[in-house]
Amino acid sequence: MDPAGAWWDLSLIASPAQEDLIFWRLENFGCRGMTSQAHGEDQVCIHAYLPWPHVSLLDLAALSLRLQQDALIAGQRVPKLRWERIEAEDWSSSWKQHWQPQWVGDKLLICPAWLDPPPHPGRHLLQLDPGMAFGTGTHPTTQLCLESLEMRLEGGGGAEGVTVADVGCGSGILSLAAALLGVKRVFAVDIDPLAVQATMHNRDLNGLTDRIVVAQGSLEHIPEMVDGLVCNILADVILDMIPEFRLVVKEGGWLILSGILIEQAKLVAEMLEANEWVVAALWRRGEWCCLNARMT
């Protein structure tokens, strides 16, 4: 393994009959250094490694879902995928060398906080240091949300006087984008204290301290009703929260939801419709999608 970087250590317990298919799935996912050893009488323990910056928690959740589907189709016991990050010396500076400024949509330039931004006429500069939190702008789900926010706030309806909730804010990138695109106030919440710290740091870094309110928690920690809500987490978590969205979003409000695999979109859309939301648009990038919904 690369001693200068951090790695994901993936492990799972499966039957020997599943071993070849699991190795194939892990290899296609980009894993390296895969190993297998006996675990009890009729099971194997498989380990695989991935460079930490190359995949997100959303990608790992998607891999877990693929492995579950493979097992069900083959009539085998569903393996339980676990992962942990292996820290290595100087990993934090190593991965930063590969993250460069990126243009998203028509109005945003996301620039690592440690680099001088390139010329960006007509674009809002979003400086970001994600720390240990998810959200650098490179993942398809984040880009879909950023582009959806731009279309919502720069196009239909505008941003003047608008308030937004960012649920599961991670690095704060969606909150920052909403504020830079002109909304009046953003309420950013996350259950992870590291994400809360990262969002507060990036808020202050971009001079948006008076526009973004950050709290540790979830929907119940949004202090007032908002015009729109953006959520880039995982489909399972979103499904659990959908019945509560109307408790924090005003009449006539909107949702931008991602972290959803294409095959999960129908289930999420059905749950939205059952709770009096209508899906106005579905944007796709690779195996991920973003749902834009409004109240019926």
Last residue of a domain, one of 61, 92, 123: 92
Tell me: do 146 and 62 sit in the same domain.
no
pLDDT of amino acid 282:
97
Is the same domain home to 107 and 166? yes
In this structure, the answer to whether residues 124 and 217 fall within a common structural domain is yes
Longest CA pairwise span in the chain (Å): 65
What does the pLDDT read at residue 48?
84
217: DSSP letter: S
Q: Are residues 139 and 278 in the same domain?
A: yes
44-51 and 212-216: which strand pairing?
Answer: unpaired
Mean pLDDT of 96-123: 88
One domain for residues 68 and 129: no
Q: State the CATH number of the domain containing residue 174.
A: 3.40.50.150
Verify that 170 and 23 share a domain, yes or no: no
pTM check: above 0.85: no
Over residues 116-144, the mean pLDDT reads: 85
- Position 94 scores a pLDDT of 47
Which segments within 22-77 are labelled E, that is strand? 32-38, 44-51
The Cα 44–Cα 294 span in angstroms is 48
CA distance 256 to 275: 15
Residue whose structure tokens are 């009959």 = 17
Residues 139 and 237 both lie in one domain: yes
Identify the residue with better confidence: 31 or 155: 31
Please give the average per-residue pLDDT across 120-124, as a whole number. 94
Is residue 241, in this structure, part of any structural domain at all?
yes
User: Quick check: 290 and 258 in contact, CB under 8 A?
Assistant: yes
Q: Note down the domain range covering 53.
A: 7-92
Q: Could you tell me the CATH number of the domain that includes residue 57?
A: 3.30.70.260
pLDDT exceeds cutoff 80 at 57: yes
pLDDT band at 33 (very low <50, low <70, confident <90, very high): low
Last residue of a domain, one of 68, 92, 116: 92
pLDDT in tens, 203-254: 999 999 999 999 999 999 999 999 999 999 888 899 999 999 999 999 999 9
Question: Where among 45, 66, 92 does a domain terminate?
Answer: 92
Q: Is residue 1 part of a domain?
A: no
Query: Side by side, which strands form the sheet with 44-51?
Result: 32-38, 44-51, 7-14, 80-86
Does 2 map to a domain? Answer: no
In the chain, the number of structural domains is: 2
Cβ pair 205, 127 in contact under 8 A: yes
Give the torsion sign (CA, 5, 10, 11, 16): negative
